[in-house]
């Protein structure tokens, strides 16, 4: 692919030095010349959604990139950055050092078992939607404004802007 396309990625961490992990991961994602950073959302702190109880809170952010990578290649690149941060996949929605999800890739709609686009749960997750709406107030997902979807998300009450120094 030679023409860059817009993609939105959601990053989260609830283990270790969450803030620096996310900052480092964004830098690593755009270290590939095929991925260019366009915008970064504010960091938000959120309660875990799903998964086992007793997990630490997450830090989350959303980035918009332009990429010449094909969708599955972008996913593979995101997963390699996760691996660099010692991501393990032992428990679904369990605690993790780094999670990177491809939320949208241009206007591609796909039910591929490896990469479903748009991300199948993004439209109901405030930890994706609210930072995305702050980053891009005009953003839409499935034909609806992202800000509107965020306002309806069940997990919105557990979300707050992150204040530096709260990590640990």
- Residue 89 is predicted with a pLDDT of 56
> pLDDT digit string (tens) for 132-154?
999 999 999 999 999 999 999 99
**E strands, the chain, in order:** 5-13, 35-40, 44-46, 58-67, 99-105, 110-111, 116-117, 140-141, 144-145, 159-161
- Binned at pLDDT 50, 70 and 90, residue 168 comes out as very low
Question: What is the distance between the alpha carbons of residues 49 and 144, in angstroms, rounded to a whole number?
Answer: 22
Share of the chain above pLDDT 90, in %: 77
Q: What is the pLDDT of residue 50?
A: 72
Q: What pLDDT, on a 0 to 100 scale, did the predictor assign at position 166?
A: 55
CATH superfamily ID and name for 5-161: 7,8-Dihydro-6-hydroxymethylpterin-pyrophosphokinase HPPK (3.30.70.560)
Read off the tokens for 33.
């010349």
Catalytic residues: 87, 96, 99, 101
> For the segment 76-132, what is each residue's pLDDT rounded down to a tens digit?
999 999 988 765 656 555 678 899 999 999 999 999 999 999 999 999 999 999 999
Please state the domain extents for the chain: 5-161
Query: pLDDT tens digit string along 31-85?
Result: 999 999 999 999 999 988 776 667 889 999 999 999 999 999 999 999 999 988 7
Return the pLDDT at 123. Answer: 96
Backbone angles phi, psi at 23, to 5 degrees: -60, -45
- pTM, two decimals, is 0.92
Rounded to the nearest integer, the mean pLDDT of the chain is 91
pLDDT at 140: 97
Q: Which pLDDT value is given to residue 94?
A: 60
Q: Is 20 exposed, middle or buried (0-12, 13-18, 19+ CB in 10 A)?
A: exposed
């Amino acid at each position: 692919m030679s023409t860059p396309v817009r993609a939105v990625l959601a990053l989260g961490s609830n283990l270790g030095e969450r803030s620096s992990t996310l900052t480092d991961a964004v830098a690593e994602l755009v270290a590939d010349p095929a991925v260019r950073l366009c915008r970064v959302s504010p960091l938000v702190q959120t309660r875990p959604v799903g998964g086992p109880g007793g997990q630490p809170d997450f830090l989350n952010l959303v980035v918009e990139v332009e990429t010449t990578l094909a969708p599955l290649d972008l996913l593979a690149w995101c997963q390699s950055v996760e691996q660099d941060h010692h991501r393990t996949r032992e428990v679904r929605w369990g605690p993790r050092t780094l999670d990177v999800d491809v939320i949208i890739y241009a206007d591609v709609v796909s039910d591929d078992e490896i990469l479903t686009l748009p991300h199948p749960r993004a439209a109901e997750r405030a930890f994706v939607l609210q930072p995305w709406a702050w980053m891009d107030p005009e953003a839409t997902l499935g034909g609806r404004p992202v800000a509107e979807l965020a306002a309806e998300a069940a997990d919105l009450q557990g979300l707050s802007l992150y204040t530096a120094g709260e990590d640990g």
